[in-house]
Structure 1
Amino acid sequence: MIFVISLIAILALLALLIFCFTVFFDQAVFNRRGTVYRVKTDQKKVALTFDDGPSPVWTPLILDELKKADVKATFFMIGHHVKKYPEIAQRVAQEGHTIANHGYAHSVVLYYTPEEIEEEIKYTEYVIKEITGQTTKYFRPPKAWLPKDIKQKIKAMGYKVILWSLNSKDWVRFSHQYIVKYLVRHIRNGDILLFHDSGDVFKTEGGSRRQTVLAIPLLVKTLQEKGYEFVALEELLNE
């Protein structure tokens, strides 16, 4: 009995440590080699990106805020969600935003073979093209984990692997004021900012992106007052 209780306590502590690591550290920093995560430029330009959508609840609200701010963003979509909510994905494309590839099921590609990742990326690419009319050559791996052989395979397919340099941590449910304060404090020229338009701590659907929706107008206003310009990812990559 004591052994079982001790084991449960150890597992609970391990889970807590993993959660704290995810909250206070950004795993993307360990996987940046050979990826695009920030652009070196003397121009005060940055790019907004959103992961895990589309969501029938939160993506439309985020699109509304982007339209008000006259800002274009890149949405790294999950193929399964594109099939499930085609009208939302279509709206993203119709409003001039870029749709990019985030895999079909948000599976951690750490355990994929090169052949398996090729199949998933190609199928997701097909789904995006069929539903939105957009083609994409940007891929963002779920959780940012990407073994060397998988990374090489993705590049051989003609894709750019896009990570990020600033993580809003919006999935942790920080307040929008905290999110904006953190991003403004750390912003640099050429930053690629990570937000989410779907999901929660442990899932890619459900949850609340209310603070993300509230953060967008405040972030745009604050950074524009500091001379920053929000540009499409394509434009930033061409700097």
Structure 2
Amino acid sequence: MSILSIMFSVLRMFFTWKNSFTFLLCLIFTFSVSAQKKVAISIDDIPNTKKYEKDDFQLGLLSKLDEIQIPISIFVIEGLLYKTDSISKNYSLLMEWTERPYTTLGNHSFNHKRSSGFSVEDLEQEVVKGEAISRELARYYGKDLKYFRFPFNDLGKDSLQQNAFKARLDTLGYEIMPFTVESADWMYNAVFEHFLEQGDRSKAVAIGEEYVSQTLALFEFFEVLSMEEYGRLIPQIYLCHDNSINEAYLPAIIKELGDQGYEFVGVEEALADPAYHQTNYYDKKWGVSWFYRWMEDQDEAMVWMRKEPGLEHIQKQFDAIQN
């Protein structure tokens, strides 16, 4: 709902109730809730060089984001630059992502491997090798490079390894990049691309629309969790990827979130919220929302996880394609 729509709704309530005190309370509540809704959009696995090669080196998702002009954080896998034979073109495309004034640059490792299988020295090598080009680009465009997102959000196999990794990242000048909402867009994308390759556009569109609905349902779910756990709305960080389904449908998700009163902020503003400075109590390697990591009672976290909007439908289609 837009701010203008909210204003008209409140005015209608005023003339209906004819109670100025009630009107004032409603006005304060309505606008405070609206103002609390913030989200930072983050995109992993940039640059998707195999897709760019298929698309005649056009940056479809970046072109859509140019039209929207909201803050975006991008997490680069530099190893992807060498996955095709067009290394110089891939480098130029990464420059395009980096030069946009609305993008914040982040490191997503060189090879995108699970960290739980690493030593501390292995992790450092992945981080340092994964910043060789990005740091030069960041310097050239006057940007920082201080965020690292673990591949698969695998922070380590146990608390001992996680603490060791965090300590090493601190010495390298990196802050771990969290997320609160993630809607398995990689799985939707695989099914989406499958139907496009089969020439079944109607099924591809159905998958795209399902992806949008699932994402919005997850935002609503974590809003409820946030209110119950904190009594307020924590700024969300949405994790998605540089892929075909986001080229087609991320603008729709952004529009819907905007219509629901979300303000799009940079990741630095989101991370300034005190919630993001809480202890991480989750000591397993699986990539879960930070809302669960912040719960000291991990049995309570499991209860919440089971309440999440399910992925059974897309999981079934994804598994069938993989088999």
**TM-score of the aligned structures, taking structure 1 as reference length:** 0.71
The C-alpha deviation readout for 1:85-128, integer Å capped at 9, x for no partner, is 21111111211211200001112111211122122212222321
Residue 176 of structure 2: aligned partner: 161
1:60 to 1:218, Cα distance in 2 relative to 1, 3 A? same
- CA deviations on 1:52-87 (whole Å, 9 max, x unpaired) are 120242781111111111222111110222564211
Check the 8 A contact 1:82/1:128 in 2, yes or no: no
% identity of equivalent residues: 26
Q: CA deviation at 1:146?
A: 1.7
Letter in 2 for 1:182: Q
1:195 aligns with 2:240: yes
1:51 paired to 2:96: no
Q: Is the 8 A contact 2:186 2:241 kept in 1?
A: yes
Q: Which runs of 5+ in 1 are unaligned?
A: 1-41, 198-208
Provide Cα deviations, 1:162-209, integer angstroms capped at 9, x if missing partner: 131111211112622122212222223411111111xxxxxxxxxxx3
- Listed as ranges, the gaps of 5+ residues in structure 2 are 1-34, 157-161, 190-206, 224-232, 274-323
| Residue correspondence of structure 1 range 54-203 to structure 2 within 5 A | 54-56=47-49, 57=52, 60-82=59-81, 84=87, 85-96=90-101, 97-132=103-138, 133=140, 134-147=143-156, 148=162, 149-173=164-188, 175-187=207-219, 188=223, 189=233, 190-197=235-242
8 A contact 2:98–2:137 mirrored in 1 = no
| Aligned partner of residue 184 in structure 1, secondary structure | helix
In 2, the alpha carbon distance for the partners of 1:109 and 1:79 equals: 17
In the TM superposition, residue 131 of structure 1 has moved relative to its aligned partner by 4.0
| Structure with the larger helix share | 2
Q: Is the 8 A contact 1:82 1:127 kept in 2?
A: no
Q: Is the 8 A contact 1:137 1:160 kept in 2?
A: yes
Is the Cα contact below 8 Å between 1:46 and 1:228 reproduced in 2?
Answer: yes
CA–CA distance in 2 between the matches of 1:155 and 1:183?
Answer: 32
Counterpart of 1:212 in structure 2 is 246
How many residue pairs match? The answer is 187
Instruction: Decide which moves more: 171-180 or 60-69.
Output: 171-180
**Structure with max Cα Rg:** 2
> For the residues of structure 2 that align with 1:144 and 1:222, how far apart are their CA atoms?
26
The alpha-carbon deviation at position 214 of structure 1 amounts to 1.6
For 1:163 and 1:173, the matched residues in 2 are separated by 22
The separation in 1 between residues aligned to 2:210 and 2:167, in whole angstroms, is 37
SS at 2:43's partner residue? strand
For 1:142, the aligned partner's letter is P
